[in-house]
Structure 1
Amino acid sequence: MHKLVLNCLRKAAISIAIILAFGLAPLPAVAENKSIVISSGGPTGVYYPVSVAICRLYNVKYSFLGHGCTVELSGGSIDNLMQLRADKVDFAIVQSDWQAHAKNGTDTFADVGAHVELRSVFALYTESFTVVARANSGINNFQDLLGKRVNIGNAGSGQRATMEVLMDQHGWNRFDFASTREFASDLQAQALCDNEVDAIVFMAGHPSGTIKTATGTCDTKLVSITGPEIDKLLETSDHYRASIIPAGTYFGQTEDISTFGVSATMVTTSDQQDESVLRLVEVVFEKFDRLKRLHTALTNLDAVEMQKDIMPASLHDAASSFYSTGVN
């Protein structure tokens, strides 16, 4: 036993001598595990599967280095921005209009003030304001919602906040409807098909799983969102732009639907580590073609537009540096 210990000590001494003699450094320590969390949306919306697609690419490239990516469900854009402000998540997907309000401390964010640390990372796709109505409801345009049973969206969601903007634009309040409901995105289609409401409103990249469910399960139709109030909204706001939901996007949709939309954007804060932001933008643009195949809402992504589309908050320094190298 004594000889065995001496032999082990002798071998250890020889190993140390070799390292010192040849200047060999010891093996580096394993990198600190730094996983990122993306706050997304409801399970049947578009934010969630898009976040999952991004995390999937991120984990393939970085998980073996101890850098993982996970997705959290949430109530939507406003909930995400509040979570980000509270430092409970690292990144979030949000509507560009509510990104602007959070940055400036306006509208819903007036009480909490401007989020000066809010930073953009990249834009994604256009989200169109969408109304789906029961076919026999008599709803053929936005104005026809008056006196009807309408799901206006859950508190904390971008669709709810945008619906309230439209109501203000038209001079309406909740009492102008027969009733209002606040179903979350994953419950809207069922409520519509169960005849609990006459119409649902949705802010989504298309095609949307919720709207596919509604149009494929019961007799429904998409409604165009047009008129002088919408024209004025587009003229007076930098956040919105006209958009089209092409014919054939959903079952039974035989014509284009005119509406308006915003950009879905990935955001973080100035406190987020440069390395985390750089890893995220690198994997998105290095695996760009693969990303576009992971969800139908990403099919028409444009790498150049993603760097400069409607993003009210300044770019995070790491993202800005990456884009300055000429990503296309």
Structure 2
Amino acid sequence: MALRNATHRRTCLAALLLGLTPLAQAESPLVIGTASPTGVYHITGQSLCRLLDAPCEARTSGGSVDNLAALRSGELEIALAQSDLHYHATLGIEGFAEAGPDNGLRALFSVHSEPFTLVVRRDAGISQFTDLAQRSVNIGNPGSGQRGTMLQLMDAQGWTLDAFTVVNELPADQQSLELCHGRVEAMVYTVGHPDASIAQAIRLCDAAIVDVEGDAVEALIATAPYYTHAEIPAGLYHDDQPAVQTFGVRATLVASESADPERIYALVAALFDNFERFTSFHPAYSLLEPESMIRDGLSAPLHEGAQRYYRERGWLVDDTPDDDEAT
């Protein structure tokens, strides 16, 4: 016991001599909630951690809805979320109506675009979204952004889950094999491209990506500020893959209002001070521009740590809303 106490005293003394406390020596890591380990969200979290000169962890999760719930409950301080679900959580509508507006949600920046992607077995005879009626479909696990977008599109189409013969709820990292094994004829994914899960389905069972267009899509785009027309470029997955027309959202990085402003400032600075390095980490980032990243897809007010950095760079004008107003 005496030896342990003496060792502890020496450790504390050494820390004091270095100007540190025992807590400072073991700084808690910055945790970023992502999604499936195979998706671009997780790559984005890992990429941000690579830029940050501090302990950082990209943590997998059930997806956008789960991340937003974890931010509200205090389980997470920072996470990625689709811009549509970010909007719903801010206002307390749709799937967040029971919980009400999240007045503590704060925005940092948006990242890549995320086209809503319909992947089908070629032998299923599915060439457009409306062909999914009376088919077997994986709509995504509860809590995922892909499921949230799918449910909104279904509602615009006038469909319920009864429109399908089989409804599977597997997460993104499992649905490709489900498709290739013939247990479902189609799967949906709201994701940046190219994506490993979609590439797996195309490689293993010659799956195809088809257009998602029509009146229901136009109705969503006309009424929702977070949806836009989107295109999946030709040739991303194989030489003969045509360009695919669809719609989509943006990935956004959000935080709790209570997140330490210094840590938020450091994270935002790490990204924009090393912007070219960040955009080299994945093809989905190749078209990013800082001007749109601090504006597009953001519904919650900016976190004060992010605001400080953007003002220092001259990116915020005098009438930019502060953290008591929505951006």
Same fold (TM over 0.5): yes
The alpha-carbon deviation at position 27 of structure 1 amounts to 4.8
Match of 1:35 in 2: 29
> Is 1:272–2:263 an aligned residue pair?
no
Contact 1:134–1:198 under 8 Å retained in 2 = yes
Q: Who is 1:258 aligned against?
A: 245
Superposed displacement of residue 101, structure 1? 0.7
Q: Does residue 206 in structure 1 map to residue 193 in structure 2? A: yes
Q: Structure 1 CA distance, aligned partners of 2:35 and 2:19?
A: 39
Partner of 2:112: 125
Distance 2:185 2:240 in 1: 18
d(CA) in 2 for partners of 1:267 and 1:327? 21
Instruction: Count residues with an aligned counterpart.
Output: 297
Query: 1:252/1:203 Cα in 2 relative to 1: closer, same or farther (>3 Å)?
Result: same
Cα distance in structure 2, aligned partners of 1:102 and 1:70: 24
Residues 300 and 108 of structure 1: CA distance in aligned 2, closer, same or farther (over 3 Å): same
Deviation at 1:280, TM superposition (A): 0.3
- Residue by residue over 1:205-261, the C-alpha shift from the partner in whole angstroms, topping out at 9 and shown as x without a partner, is 111111111111112111101011111111111110000001111126532100001
| Rounded Cα–Cα distance in structure 2 between residues aligned with 1:150 and 1:132 | 10
* Correspondence for 2:12: none
Where structure 2 has 5 or more consecutive residues not aligned to the other structure, the ranges are 1-15, 316-327
Over 3 Å counting, the alpha-carbon distance change for 1:34 and 1:265 in structure 2 is same
Contact 1:303 1:327 in 2 (8 A): no
Residue 262 of structure 1 aligns to a residue whose secondary structure is strand
Q: What aligned pairs does 1:45-60 form with structure 2 within 5 A after superposition?
A: 45-58=39-52
Among 117, 139, 152, the residue aligned to 2:139: 152
How many Å separate the matches in 1 of 2:232 and 2:106? 30
Runs of 4+ in 1 over 3 A off after TM superposition: none
TM-aligned CA distance change 1:78 to 1:27, over 3 Å: same
Cα separation, 1, equivalents of 2:291 and 2:169: 37
Asked if residue 187 in structure 1 is aligned to residue 178 in structure 2, the reply is no
Q: How far 1:117 sits from its partner (Å)?
A: 0.6
Alpha carbons 1:216, 1:251 under 8 Å: kept: no
Give the greater-gyration-radius structure (CA).
Answer: 1
CA distance in 2, matches of 1:53, 1:26: 35
> What is the CA distance between 1:300 and its match in structure 2?
2.2
Q: Is the 8 A contact 1:174 1:180 kept in 2?
A: yes
Equivalent AA in structure 1 for residue 29 of structure 2? S
Distance 1:155 1:232 in 2: 24
1:288 aligns with 2:279: no
Deviation at 1:327, TM superposition (A): 6.2
- 1-side partners of 2:63 and 2:195: how far apart? 15
Name the structure 1 match of 2:61.
74
Match of 2:5 in 1: none
Unaligned stretches of 5+ residues in structure 1:
1-24, 63-67
User: Displacement of 1:118 after TM fit?
Assistant: 0.2
TM-superposed deviation, 1:262: 0.6
Paired with 2:77 and 2:160, the residues of 1 have a C-alpha distance of 36
**1:313 to 2:313 alignment:** no
CA RMSD of aligned residues (A): 1.5
Letter of the structure 2 residue corresponding to residue 47 of structure 1: Y
d(CA) in 1 for partners of 2:260, 2:188: 37
Shift of 1:326: 2.5
String of CA shifts for 1:32-79, please: whole Å, max 9, x gaps: 224211000011111111101111211xx23xxxxx111211010000
TM-score when normalising by structure 2: 0.88
Counterpart of 1:207, as a letter, is: P
| Aligned residue type for 1:28 | G
Letter in 2 for 1:44: T
Does residue 196 in structure 1 map to residue 183 in structure 2? yes
For 1:59-98, list aligned pairs within 5 A: 61-62=53-54, 68-98=55-85
Q: Name the CA distance, whole Å, in 2 between partners of 1:151 and 1:125.
A: 24
Query: What is the CA–CA distance in structure 1 between the aligned matches of 2:46 and 2:60, rounded to whole Å?
Result: 10
The AA in structure 2 aligned to 1:57 is L
Alignment of 1:214-253 (within 5 A): 214-251=201-238, 253=240
- Quick check: 32-41 or 267-276, which moved more? 32-41
**% same residue:** 37
1:301 is displaced (CA, Å) by: 1.8
Change (3 A) 1:285 1:126: same
User: For the residues of structure 2 that align with 1:36 and 1:171, how far apart are their CA atoms?
Assistant: 42
Q: Is the 8 A contact 1:304 1:327 kept in 2?
A: no
Q: 1:325 to 1:186 in 2, by over 3 A?
A: same
Please report the TM-score for the alignment, with normalisation by the length of structure 1.
0.87
